[in-house]
Amino acid sequence: MPTRQTSSSGRSKSPRIQVVLPEELCERLTALADQDSRTVSNMARVLIQQGVERIERQRLLADEAGLLPSEAQADRFRAALVRQEQNPGQRLQGNRRPRLYRPRG
């Protein structure tokens, strides 16, 4: 859970987190920070922000393409399972038996 500190003016500062890094990764992060004339903390913030934005974009694109189950898709699936429990003879829509590949000859 991030912690917040209060500045001398009484306003709250940005949340702080603590991260433990392997030595090699810390050295790489320090080298990147030096190359960009940043502090290690600022470089870590920039890289985390870029990574979070990239993952959010990927998930949004995948969700729009129907590749990741959204909450709505999960809710529809749960409702279908409930209907199936109420009507055991009925199969879920789109749920077909797999066809086995049998080599000829």
pLDDT digits (tens, 9 = 90+) for 7-53: 778 788 888 899 999 999 999 999 999 999 999 999 999 999 999 99
pLDDT digits (tens, 9 = 90+) for 57-90: 887 877 777 665 566 677 777 787 887 777 766 6
**Distance between CA atoms of residues 78 and 76, nearest Å:** 5
Q: Of how many residues is the chain composed?
A: 105
The tokens of 52 are what?
């979070």
Question: Do the beta carbons of residue 16 and residue 4 sit within 8 Å?
Answer: yes
The neighbour count for residue 59, using CB atoms within 10 Å, is 13
Give the chain's end-to-end CA distance (angstroms, integer). 63
Q: What is the pLDDT of residue 43?
A: 97
**Distance between CA atoms of residues 79 and 16, nearest Å:** 41
Domain boundaries, given as residue ranges, for the chain: 23-86
For residue 26, which phi and psi values (nearest 5 degrees)? -65, -40
